[in-house]
Amino acid sequence: MGRVFVVTLEGKIYSCKHCGTHLALSDDILSKSFHCRHGKAYLFNKVVNVTLGDKEERMMMTGSHVVADIFCVRCGSIVGWKYETAHEKSQKYKEGKSVLERFKISGPDGSNYWVSHGAHIGGSDADDA
């Protein structure tokens, strides 16, 4: 494997909670109302320092989408997913956007999002990957 080059961001940064690699800026958040298996997730217009997994059809709460998991370029941890194709017209705005799972990233203030076991997590208008 070759040398890993990473982009360094400036501002309010979300980073990989495992290795600290910068992933996205707070200014690029489009929505904080997404959900995943581990709790909250944020939809970002732009993310950096990630690699894409294989594209796959996945049934979400808002319908069927073609998505690819995204992984931290430095440590390889899965940090979320990218929307490749949305079949529903009302969901097309997600295409090309990425979701970072709050459980797997550190916030701009260095905080981590923890889910207590047994907590009910969900939402009627959010996705569930």
**Given pLDDT bands bounded at 50, 70 and 90, which one contains residue 124?**
very low
pLDDT digits (tens, 9 = 90+) for 7-43: 999 999 999 999 999 999 999 999 999 988 778 999 9
The pTM of the whole model exceeds 0.85: no
Q: Where are the beta strands (DSSP E) in 1-129?
A: 13-16, 22-25, 29-36, 39-44, 50-60, 63-72, 78-86, 98-101, 105-106
**What strands lie across the sheet with 29-36, from one edge to the other?**
29-36, 39-44, 98-101, 78-86, 63-72, 50-60
pLDDT at 123 over 70: no
Please report, in angstroms and rounded to a whole number, the separation of the first and last CA atoms in the chain: 30
> Higher model confidence: residue 116 or residue 54?
54
Length of the chain: 129
List the structure tokens of 20: 């600290």
The whole-number average pLDDT for the span 96-120 is 75
What residues pair up with 39 in beta bridges, in sequence order?
36
DSSP state of 112: B
What does the mean pLDDT of the chain come to? 86
CB 60 within 8 A of CB 37: no
Q: What is the pLDDT of residue 114?
A: 52
